[in-house]
Structure 1
Amino acid sequence: MSYRYILEPYKGIATRHTCPTCEQKKSFSRYIDTENKVSFPNHVGRCDREEKCGYHFIPKQYFEENPERRESFSDYQPTIQRSFSPMKEKEPSYIDSKLVESSLSCYPKNKLYQYLSSQLGEDETMKLMMKYKVGSAKHWEGATVFWQRDIAGRVRTGKVMLYDPESGKRVKHPYNHITWVHSLLKQENFNLKQCFFGEHLLASQSNLPVAIVESEKTALISSFYMPQFQWIATGGKHGCFNDENLQVLKARKTILFPDLGAWEDWQVKADKMKSLNIEVEIFDFLEKRATPEQRKEGYDIADFLLEAKQPTAILQDMIKRNPALKILMEEFGLVLDNSSKNRVNPRKKTGFRL
């Protein structure tokens, strides 16, 4: 059995690169085409830090996102005798629900919970943790687990991350503190198929338009300030934009909120979604409003919300720039005002000390 698309063989340190997720240098192997007909972008490959990172973006995912680059689906399949029947695609593996439930505790020690409590208040932060089923992990003291629960409520995996409780930023030194539950469990033959973070909420809140961001933390914060939308996260710049993942968005009005600097990439994603008959809008709100300092810091919508503390003004600005949003909100009977009962004073002191 031979494969056309393989990880680049080691031919010296120049054939190993910086991982796009954990940012570890010389740990990333890129996929190559043995027939030299397809040139993959730099994020298509695998990080060799399986326990600490686990990033693996395969050619199949790339072709699903870019069907025009695929000569034929059979090009990706291993070369086998024609008399064989095609292999049935494996079902995704799932994480034991008991493990998930046991993680929904120890929030006072959770660094992300500490940060969000300082911004939103403890009560509201706890509501968000319970709504999105965000857990705590012992892998690093105070770490957070973002469980990926699909629309049927089954847990595909969990992303473990560590945050600074004062800045709310991810801890990246002396290394990027990010890993995956399925890697930590070392389960044999685990078939990972990721889904959107917050996808399970789509089953019960079918009346709300869907807002998609990259970061799980951003989804939490945006959900607090702008509950007019159901916020979910891709978990990465290139995550969850293949045909299979996008099926849950059919018949849903969807809005994409790319981070600063990612607008062009997400415009490509929006075009792909439209080709699948998904009603989608993409907003350049951040691109047009950001200062040079905000661009340097790589702001996303949550950073704007925390800084401005005026979600209503942001929504009004968005409507001014794209009147379709007003029609969307009127159709669903959504309101602009979010201040009276759904918000607390973001700067209100709590009894918890950081």
Structure 2
Amino acid sequence: MTQLHQLRYFLPPRSKKVTCPACDQPKRFKLYHDATTGHPVGDAYGRCDRQDHCGYDLRPQSDKPPERSANAFRDLPPAPPKPLAILPEEVVAASLAHHRANNLARMLGRIIGYGQANELLLGMEVGTSSHWPGATVFFQRDEYGRPRSGQVVHFDSQSGKTIKDLAPNGEKRRRTTWLHKTTKKAFKRKGEPFPQWLKDYEEAEQVSGWLFGLRYVLAAAKTVPVGIVEAPKTALLCNAFLPTYRWAATCGLGNLTETRLRPLLDRKIELFPDASENGSALAHWQNKAEQLRRKGFQVTVNERLETLATPEQLCAGYDLADVILDNHRGYPPSWDNDTL
């Protein structure tokens, strides 16, 4: 690259990183900018910061700006397939052994009895994290039974609600993160080297694309209908109080996708979206259900929560967990035959 090119085309030190077109890793690719315009040269011209694993670095080579095309890298050899991000089974097992220290587990025990709670927490693979005192881990397995990720959420031990922090911009943010991230921070804090599994996990495909509770659902007969809700805590309570279905959670309104539901293609599915002030949650899942039916899914949407909720409940995002807790009148003695 000539001195002219060095002056004209450059990588801004604080520019936003985007998905690399070669290795497909998000927030790793920085675009070359044209000093004469102040704008990126083209979607394909940039450098991936994973130089040891990707090495993609396409630079402008002439005074004439190249065409803005995301296909400029089409002649490059395809990137090698990325290994799958899989958590070690021993990590999952260790997390499942500490329900006594788990805020959500203690709350669940008071609601449904400690024997029933322990059985359900183990069956749905709900673990404990020390990242926040008493934090919960919702493990997600794929359709082959491999543990792919663990969502960490911090609940209040009395109310069972997610604890929120006030961000610098004044917004309230839920205390939630991922197990591999909390593990990395813990080793950094102790000044210890990362275990090999964590190094491998960080370099692997980390997309979270599975239902919480999928393994629990697949263990039931195919004739048992599947109930889908947004929150893992709701799926837990529904499996305890509404056993006509096997329940799973998308872990978010926008996570209802064909990929996540693909393992349930041969089962009857009923969606239970949270109530919303303007009906947007119901409308969103109704639209998704229509798309899924065109793909061959047997899926319907339950609208009762939206139609029966009060204006205050709609505003608060009322869900089936709220219905269960508001109408809770105790549990059978047989549910309390053990401790956490």
Alignment TM-score, normalising by the size of structure 2: 0.66
Out of 124, 127, 131, the residue aligned to residue 135 of structure 1 is 127
* Greater Cα offset, 243-252 or 273-282: 243-252
CA shift, 1:345, in A, is 6.7
Note the aligned Cα RMSD (angstroms).
Answer: 2.9
Contact 2:227 2:248 in 1 (8 A): yes
Alignment TM-score, normalising by the size of structure 1: 0.64
1:142-192 CA distance string (max 9 Å, x none): 111000112221111101111111111001035531110122344331311
Report the counterpart of residue 274 of structure 2 in structure 1. 259
Q: Are residues 228 and 350 of structure 1, via their aligned partners in 2, closer, same or farther at CA, if it must alter by over 3 Å?
A: closer
Out of 245, 251, 258, the residue aligned to residue 229 of structure 1 is 245
Q: Does 1:109 align with 2:107?
A: no
Report the counterpart of residue 306 of structure 1 in structure 2. 325
Q: Does 1:250 align with 2:242?
A: no
1:103-130 CA distance string (max 9 Å, x none): 1122122100111111111111111101
Q: Does 1:181 align with 2:197?
A: no
1:291-317 CA distance string (max 9 Å, x none): 12222321101211222249xxxxxxx
Counterpart CA distance in 1 for 2:268 and 2:110 is 33
Contact 1:120 1:345 in 2 (8 A): no
Larger radius of gyration: 2
Q: Are residues 129 and 120 of structure 1, via their aligned partners in 2, closer, same or farther at CA, if it must alter by over 3 Å?
A: same
Report the counterpart of residue 344 of structure 1 in structure 2. 332
Q: Does 1:144 align with 2:136?
A: yes
- Map 1:191-206; keep pairs closer than 5 Å: 191-194=205-208, 195-206=210-221
- Map 1:163-182; keep pairs closer than 5 Å: 163-174=155-166, 176-182=174-180
Contact 2:83 2:204 in 1 (8 A): no
Counterpart CA distance in 1 for 2:293 and 2:118 is 36
Report the counterpart of residue 13 of structure 1 in structure 2. none
Counterpart CA distance in 1 for 2:91 and 2:287 is 37
Aligned length: 247
Contact 1:92 1:193 in 2 (8 A): no
Contact 2:256 2:288 in 1 (8 A): no
- Map 1:60-139; keep pairs closer than 5 Å: 78-84=70-76, 86-87=78-79, 90-139=82-131
1:201-252 CA distance string (max 9 Å, x none): 23321331111100000000000011111100001111251x3322112111
Identity %, equivalent residues: 33
Out of 190, 201, 208, the residue aligned to residue 204 of structure 2 is 190
Counterpart CA distance in 2 for 1:301 and 1:226 is 10
CA shift, 1:89, in A, is 5.2
